[in-house]
Chains A and B, each alone.
Chain A
Amino acid sequence: MEATVIHIERPGAASREAIFLELYERAFPLTAGFVSKMGGTLEDAKDIFQDALVIYYEKSLEPLFITRISAEAYLLGIAKHLWIRKFKQHANKVPLTAAENQISIPDDFYANVDDQKLLHLLEKSGKKCLDILKVFYFDNLSMKKIAKVLGYASDRSATVQKFKCLEKVRDTIRDKSLGYEDFLT
């Protein structure tokens, strides 16, 4: 299979929709074929593919992301790892190629219950700051663009706002986490 890399240069929700659509059409059949062979349902395939897509997308934005296999093959590799994890099957029931063995799933991909609770509280305490911080940390835009997107007059005022928001989030976490021993060590 020829290795084709989808270059993700300026991700934003709009261009992401096109990227996701292309990846779905190209890669979902392969993953669905695997899930079907393992005895899974279409719903299993959809669940696993969604997570695989998020993981692949995140990885593809890392500055040093280089792979010699195609997006389809990479997504299938991630899906196999997710399948093994989900059904706690011995790895030998799902043979992995050398390239697939190199693929890793982020350790923090599945949020634990405490984190889910915290996330929920953060969302309830105000979406605006969270949206601002998401743009800063994940949309890979220049400071100028960020200031423009968020409607600030200058880079500087946008930066001040970012740290104010981060402070707010940090302090919400602190207030909600008191009593969690792991923070006190």
Chain B
Amino acid sequence: MRTSLHNIRSAEAYLKGEMPTEEALVFEARLLTDPVLRMQVRFQQKAYALLRLLYRKQLKQEATAVEEQLFNSPDKEAFRQQISQLFKS
């Protein structure tokens, strides 16, 4: 694995708390002395956060599809009846 991939893998282990203590201390020391690495690790953290948002977006699309199924399919009439009762004013 080339160095840059090695770094990104180490950073992942470090960020996820999966690095052995001694190795983590060495990595922290590198972070203190290497501003480029520090910046990369920050962007990597951001990448994880954005991937989570993306995943939630996908889950929400799946939820929408299920909702449409429930509110449109002929065999879910009883369910719809039950719900529409709740919103009668």
Q: How far is the CB of B1 from chain A (nearest CB, A)?
A: 6
Interface residues of B (CB under 8 A from A): 1, 4-5, 8-9, 12, 39-40, 42-44, 46-60, 62-67, 69-70, 79, 82-84, 86-87
Does A134 lie within 8 Å of B51, measured CB to CB? yes
A-B contacts, CB under 8 A, total: 119
Number of contacting residues on A, CB 8 A? 47
Whole-angstrom CA separation of A50 from B67 in the bound complex: 9
Does B8 lie within 8 Å of A24, measured CB to CB? no
Q: How far is the CB of A165 from chain B (nearest CB, A)?
A: 10
Give the dominant DSSP class at B's interface: helix
Does A108 lie within 8 Å of B49, measured CB to CB? yes
Q: Does A82 contact B (CB under 8 A)?
A: no
CB 8 Å contact bits of A1-30 with B (1 = contact, 0 = none): 000000000000100110011001100110
Does A25 lie within 8 Å of B5, measured CB to CB? no
User: Contacts A163-B1, A166-B44 known; A20 to B83 CB distance under 8 Å?
Assistant: no
